[in-house]
Structure 1
Amino acid sequence: MQEFGRLPNIRAAQALVDYLKGQGVDCHVEQLEQEVVLYAVNPAQHAQAEFEYQHFIAHPGDPKYLAVSWDHGSTANRMDYGKPSSQLLMQFFTGGGPLTMLVFFACVFIFLGWNIGYAESLFSALGFFNVTPTATLGEFWRVFTPSLIHFSAMHIIFNLLWWWYLGGKIENRLGTGTLAILLLVGGTLPNVLQYYISGPGFGGLSGVVYALAGYTWIMGQRKPEAGIGLPNSYMGFMMIWLVLGFTDMFGLSIANGAHIGGLVVGLLQGVFDSRRR
């Protein structure tokens, strides 16, 4: 089975599950203390289930869910979907564990500081070794902290969306320890590689994101019972984005070394964990 989503209450979950049942998608529901976890029983149907889940989150009042629930489901579990705004907020916070949220908001706060006049001081404090004359090897945190710096809205939005989506899956299913290893290794070794390619003038969580993508995809391929996976279409998008980074199509300075390094870290860790778990 593969998890494809989480909802705040059983009524909303039942409406979606009944609809998917009508589409021939077999689902399993697990009731937790504060949310309901949805699984696709057949991994081959995971992408379809996740697509419908995203539509349900955006349009919980769509009449098609009520109609199919009436035909296939229990009348006791109907109608109460909750307010869309509160449902989205609940989905955001339950979609990631404590480490996911800590890194998410750390990046947001640093980005806000960057844009209200503290860019130079933040880069001096958090940039890689040699970013300033005083940034020496004794300041060991610099091997990781560039991962928390983002230079533009598109930069941080892209990275944090993937961090929340993939990091939250890993932390909720496999634990904070697994995500912490990927964060630390994926946020340090790719930085070292990027430094030797282009010097210290880089930042961003994209190395970690590619580590998470590689890890989630390989675990889904080799150990689907672990409950995480990345559809091939999503992984294909990440590969296309990686290749485009080597062109000048977007007119941006992209840390391609960090992307490749992070991907290799994630794939290797995924191979190791798929054998061990």
Structure 2
Amino acid sequence: MSASRVLPIAVLAKRPITSGLAIAAIGVTIAWHVGVPIDVLAMTSDAIGREPWRLLTSALPHVGALHLIFNVYWLLALGSVIEGTCGARVMGPLVLTAAIGSAALEWALASGGVGLSGVVYGLIAFAWFARRRDASLAAAADPSTVRLFALWFVLCVVMTATGTMRVGNAAHAGGAILGALAGAAWGVTDARRRVWIAGTVVTTAAFVVLGSPLVRPLVNLGAIGYEIADRAYALVESDPARAIALYDEAIERDGSIANWHYNRGVALFLARRRDEALLAMERAHALDANDESFRAGLASTAAACGYEAVEQGRTAEAIARFERALAVAPEAAEADDWRLMIELARASVDGDPR
């Protein structure tokens, strides 16, 4: 059978793992998009430890219709052939291995994702490496289909690198590696099979270890900073001191995210560390001068520092702060008040009795 066609429903009914996984993915995705909470299924740090089911269930939700259609189509096209040829005793462990390994590697190197892409890449790799043992597998993993998957893999890497769309490239790679090892094991009949099986087990375990709390910070390619910043954001108002510490940690990992500096500035302001807040706002504005919220935040923070300087008798500093606020946001509603404060401060310096 060519992988370009999905088997009829009557045949799919005899492929319980393939069809069951497809139905589960469709059902969970629909539930997610109509508002049913699925947090318990998502990939988090608890997956490698207290809640290991997340390594499997994170494969079920999909971010959109095209994502779901693509993955379910290829799951049915490839999975039905593999399950029909090799049986559930091969299909079951293959799906489990590809799902666990791809989810763990994606979590280790990035921030975790959703979807069956890692499993699908595991299926095509399995069929390609096991094709010499069975003609139906060779038909499923024909050269044109393999080229399609290879091209899509490269395109996804490019889209992620350019910021066009974030894709789970590590999941694709992890699933393909594990599928290839499993396919090589099934494709031989002698003692070498044990070597390939051992390699599959060890590689899966290695991916899980990479995602562990002890190892992940050493290999992660940047997502940890975002996760820390998300935790910080939730604490800005309730615990600004803790939020500041977390933003410091995130910025140490990547200081180019303007929003982190801005939110850190808000937390510093609430903690009454006004001068530091102003520096943080200046940094956010420098990173993205076109963002209106950054401009407004910088202006209001500079003005607040100006009022504080007036109260403490630091007149020259007060003038500089109000001038900075006007330079950044001359059209602000408070701009006339800032101009008045500058005039009053200058008058006090000049000894004007007014």
Q: TM-score, normalised by structure 1?
A: 0.62
CA drift of 1:168 comes to 0.5
Residue type matched to 1:94 in 2?
V
Structure 2 Cα separation of the partners of residues 240 and 142 of structure 1: 29
Structure 1 Cα separation of the partners of residues 124 and 49 of structure 2: 30
Structure 1 Cα separation of the partners of residues 168 and 9 of structure 2: 28
Which of structures 1 and 2 has the bigger CA Rg? 2
In structure 1, the residue matched to 2:42 is: 127
- Does residue 140 (structure 1) correspond to residue 36 (structure 2)? The answer is no
Structure 2 Cα separation of the partners of residues 196 and 135 of structure 1: 12
When residues 163 and 263 of structure 1 are mapped into structure 2, their CA distance, relative to the original with a 3 A threshold, is same
The answer on whether the counterparts of 1:170 and 1:228 sit within 8 Å (CA) in structure 2 is yes
CA drift of 1:136 comes to 7.2
In structure 2, the residue matched to 1:195 is: 107
CA drift of 1:252 comes to 2.2
- Does residue 102 (structure 1) correspond to residue 14 (structure 2)? The answer is no
In structure 2, the residue matched to 1:76 is: none
Matches within 5 A, 1:163-182: 163-182=75-94
CA drift of 1:135 comes to 6.5
CA drift of 1:137 comes to 2.1
Give CA deviations for 1:59-90 in whole Å, capped at 9, x if unaligned: xxxxxxxxxxxxxxxxxxxxxxxxxxxxx9x8
When residues 135 and 219 of structure 1 are mapped into structure 2, their CA distance, relative to the original with a 3 A threshold, is closer
- Does residue 207 (structure 1) correspond to residue 118 (structure 2)? The answer is yes
SS of equivalent residue, structure 2 residue 63:
coil
Match of 1:238 among 124, 128, 149: 149
Match of 2:134 among 224, 230, 233: 224
CA drift of 1:92 comes to 3.0
Unpaired runs of at least 5, structure 1: 5-46, 55-87
Residue type matched to 1:239 in 2?
A
Which structure has more relative contact order (CA 8 Å, sep 6+)? It is: 1
Match of 1:269 among 151, 163, 182: 182
CA drift of 1:177 comes to 1.3
Percent pairwise identity: 26
Give CA deviations for 1:141-170 in whole Å, capped at 9, x if unaligned: 012111111111111100000000100001
Match of 2:169 among 238, 248, 256: 256
Structure 2 Cα separation of the partners of residues 189 and 219 of structure 1: 20
Unpaired runs of at least 5, structure 2: 191-354
How many matched pairs? 185
CA drift of 1:215 comes to 0.6
Residue type matched to 1:257 in 2?
A
Structure 1 Cα separation of the partners of residues 119 and 48 of structure 2: 23
Structure 2 Cα separation of the partners of residues 218 and 170 of structure 1: 12
Residue type matched to 2:34 in 1?
I
CA drift of 1:111 comes to 0.8
Residue type matched to 1:188 in 2?
I
Matches within 5 A, 1:32-47: none
In structure 1, the residue matched to 2:71 is: 159
- Does residue 92 (structure 1) correspond to residue 9 (structure 2)? The answer is yes
Residue type matched to 1:242 in 2?
F
The answer on whether the counterparts of 2:12 and 2:19 sit within 8 Å (CA) in structure 1 is no
When residues 250 and 216 of structure 1 are mapped into structure 2, their CA distance, relative to the original with a 3 A threshold, is farther
SS of equivalent residue, structure 2 residue 150:
helix
When residues 135 and 176 of structure 1 are mapped into structure 2, their CA distance, relative to the original with a 3 A threshold, is closer
Runs of 4+ in 1 over 4 A off after TM superposition: none
Structure 2 Cα separation of the partners of residues 204 and 158 of structure 1: 10
SS of equivalent residue, structure 1 residue 106:
helix
CA drift of 1:224 comes to 3.1
When residues 135 and 186 of structure 1 are mapped into structure 2, their CA distance, relative to the original with a 3 A threshold, is closer
Structure 2 Cα separation of the partners of residues 218 and 107 of structure 1: 26
Residue type matched to 2:179 in 1?
G
- Does residue 113 (structure 1) correspond to residue 113 (structure 2)? The answer is no
Residue type matched to 2:171 in 1?
A
> Normalized per residue, which structure has more helix?
2
